[in-house]
Chain A
Amino acid sequence: MDPSELMASFRDLQSYVGWNAEDADRVAGLREVVAPDLGSLVDEFYDEIPRHPQAHRVMTGGAEQVRRLKLSLRSWLDELFSGPYDEQYVRRRWLVGSRHVEIGLDPSYPNAAFSLLRAGLTASVRRRWLGESSGMWPALQSLHKLLDLDSMLVQRAYGDQYARQMQRQERLAAIGQISGSIAHELRNPLNVIKTSIYCLTHGKSITEEKRSEHLQRMDRQVDVANGVISALSDFARLPTPSPDSVAVDQVVTEVLETLTIPAGVVVVRDIARDLVVAADRQQLAIVLSNLVRNGVEAMPHGGKLAISGRADAGGVSVSVIDTGVGIKPDRLGRLTEPLYTTKARGIGLGLAITRVIVERHRGTIRFSSEVDVGTEATVWMPSGAADAQDENQRRTE
């Protein structure tokens, strides 16, 4: 939690409820009025808790804990009337709130506690007010405003802590997921290498041909393992795009040259030679090669892969259409999620990285598919340069 940010939002809440210096003065004036009741208010507050098992459950420290809690409630009440309502004040309130999250108190209980304190303080003011009764109502109103502000700080602490807990859990889940899929993707090539070594060392008659076949296998599988690691590190540190005027047709040619297209797959291209997009050339190549590779892998028995490009709505659209196995509708929306894969091999980073790249170019990516008919992936990128935000970032760096 950033204290100055917290203070800023507290100020905003103050102005929202119309809290001002007059309110502070009125509340300060109530200090003497309620002072004789504060002790019994604190006692009653802690007498109430054992009657509520859900709230009492978190009190595990016995009499000593209750004694400490009473002291801290007392100083909380003192500070409520005395102020100053500064950064320290706000921070302490927030900490009280987050302490209650840590011990696992359901958020409805702090609300109930506020209600109880509010009732006790109101009763005390009404009983002991000595001045003009016309002055009592504005004073009580100011007190209520302040209690509302305090309550908001506690709620804010709950929100912050909850978000942090969720983040922690998500991060742990992601680590679990990623290590599981890395383990799988690395153990497969390791398995081939290990069994090849076994063949080479235990085989009775290893011909030169056999030897070279095993060496090729091992070499291939080292590439597979390396590919897994490259995909991860690409993802971890994808550079900011440095856009350039790129001829789409030329990038497609390069991509097709680097990939092995199986004999059963026919590639059909329909891209104007002069179609140009402002993009990071290398990153555009990653995008296209991921789409082409997915298309090819979706057609294990061969088929047609159509790559088309055209000028479209102030940008350029490139579609890759396969006649492959297709993707079920419930899976379509998850394709670009990191670590999501429908394949037996692969960690599920290809389309996730593709989407990150497209978005950094302020573009969009869409998929449509029909099972056993095929899949169409369409990337649109604006003619104008890459992510403006990234541009700004670079300038300020």
Chain B
Amino acid sequence: MSNGEEVWVLVVDDDRDAGGNLAEILSEVGYSVDVALSGEQALQLVRERVYRVALVDLKMPDQDGVSLYESIKECRPETACILTTAFGRSARVEEGLSAGVWCVFAKPIDVGRLLAAVEHATQQPTTLIVDDDKDFCDNLSQMLRQRGYRVRHVQDEHLAAERIDTGEYERLVVDLRLKNGDGRKLIERARRIRPNSQILLVTGYAEELAEEGSRRLLNGGVVEIETKPLQIERFLQRHFPAMGTEQP
């Protein structure tokens, strides 16, 4: 486990014993853990606190783990969700994986492997994507999740600024020109809030880079630039090498 920061993990299982055991195992190695006994309870907790990882049981009385993941994703897309299931690899599990579930553990759980996966997941940087094209955001998010990155995206400057102020990200992907805003302002803001975050600038208008404001940004030196349309393969390889969702 890393530095002094508290790392929160959420365990969701309707079986008190199962949830209690996982909570004990995780706390023992230093995580801060909450246990939810139902999907409803889990969503309440998720609204109140940012969890790096959620361990979600597939089968629960009030809703299934995959639909719970979908709801968690709406509220906290950057939370990595690990599914646990007493069924084998089912069609529902596959649906979960393609929706962005981090990885899946079959019960009875191999605790050693689970701890490694949780640690790996908590350490992956959170990427914040700021782009007014929602489809682009969705596509990129999905690709990044599959490569083992936790991702969140926002479309407008105002919300992005709020997000940036929370400091809950390590990487930033920003479109220079936003429909109602200016990516440059966001980058400057991000530099102030989290000077050590990695910032990646994406633009469809290469000529804008020549403008005075842009040059100032670039002269700062830490910003990397990609022009749209992205050559996605190359883009991913260069900036988001596959991390996998489990420790190798």
Contacts and interface: CB of A to CB of B under 8 A. Distances in A.
B181 interface: no
B61 A188 contact: no
A221 B108 CA distance: 13
A195 B87 contact: no
A356 interface: no
Given A191-B107, A343-B61, A220 B25 contact: no
A344 B60 contact: yes
B75 interface: no
A202 B109 contact: no
B59 A221 contact: no
Contact of A187 (B21, B24, B86): B86
A194 interface: yes
A261 interface: no
Interface residues of B, number: 22
B156 interface: no
B58 to A, nearest CB: 9
A196 B86 contact: no
Contacts of A104: none
Nearest to B109: A191
Main secondary structure of the interface of A (DSSP, over half): helix
Contacts of B14: 344-345
A91 interface: no
A195 B25 contact: yes
A82 B108 CA distance: 69
Contact of B18 (A180, A188, A199, A214): A188
A112 to B, nearest CB: 42
Contacts of B22: 195
Contacts of B207: none
B21 A217 contact: yes
Given A184-B59, A191-B108, A199-B25, A217 B88 contact: no
A344 B25 contact: no
Contacts of A188: 15, 18, 86, 107
A192 interface: yes
A199 B21 contact: yes
B233 interface: no
A36 interface: no
A203 interface: yes
Given A183-B88, A184-B87, A192 B59 contact: no
Interface in B4-35: 14-15, 17-18, 20-22, 24-25, 28
Contacts of B109: 191, 194-195
Given A184-B87, A191-B18, A344 B61 contact: yes
B87 A192 contact: no
Contacts of A194: 108-109, 111
Contacts of B107: 187-188, 190-191
A14 B60 CA distance: 61
A194 B105 CA distance: 14
Interface string A171-192: 0000000001001110110111
Contact of B28 (A185, A190, A204, A344): A204
B18 A195 contact: yes
Contacts of B18: 188, 191-192, 195
Contacts of B106: 187
B21 A195 contact: yes
A188 B108 CA distance: 7
Nearest to A342: B61
A185 B107 CA distance: 11
Contacts of B28: 199, 202-204
A300 interface: yes
Interface in A273-318: 300
B15 A198 contact: no
A219 to B, nearest CB: 10
A199 B20 CA distance: 11
Nearest to A184: B86
Interface in B76-104: 84, 86-88
A345 B14 CA distance: 10
A202 B112 CA distance: 10
Given A300-B61, A344-B59, A192 B21 contact: yes
Q: Among the interface residues B21, B24, B25, B28, which one has the most CB atoms of the partner chain A within 10 A?
A: B21
B108 A190 contact: yes
A106 B61 CA distance: 46
Interface string B153-185: 000000000000000000000000000000000
A183 B61 contact: no
B87 A183 contact: yes
Interface string B217-248: 00000000000000000000000000000000
A192 B84 CA distance: 12
Contact of A217 (B20, B60, B61, B86): B20
Contacts of B61: 300, 343-344
Contacts of B84: 191
Interface in A329-354: 343-345
11 contacts: A187-B108, A188-B15, A191-B84, A191-B107, A191-B109, A193-B108, A195-B25, A195-B109, A195-B111, A217-B17, A220-B17
Top 3 nearest A-B pairs by Cβ distance? A195-B21, A187-B86, A191-B107
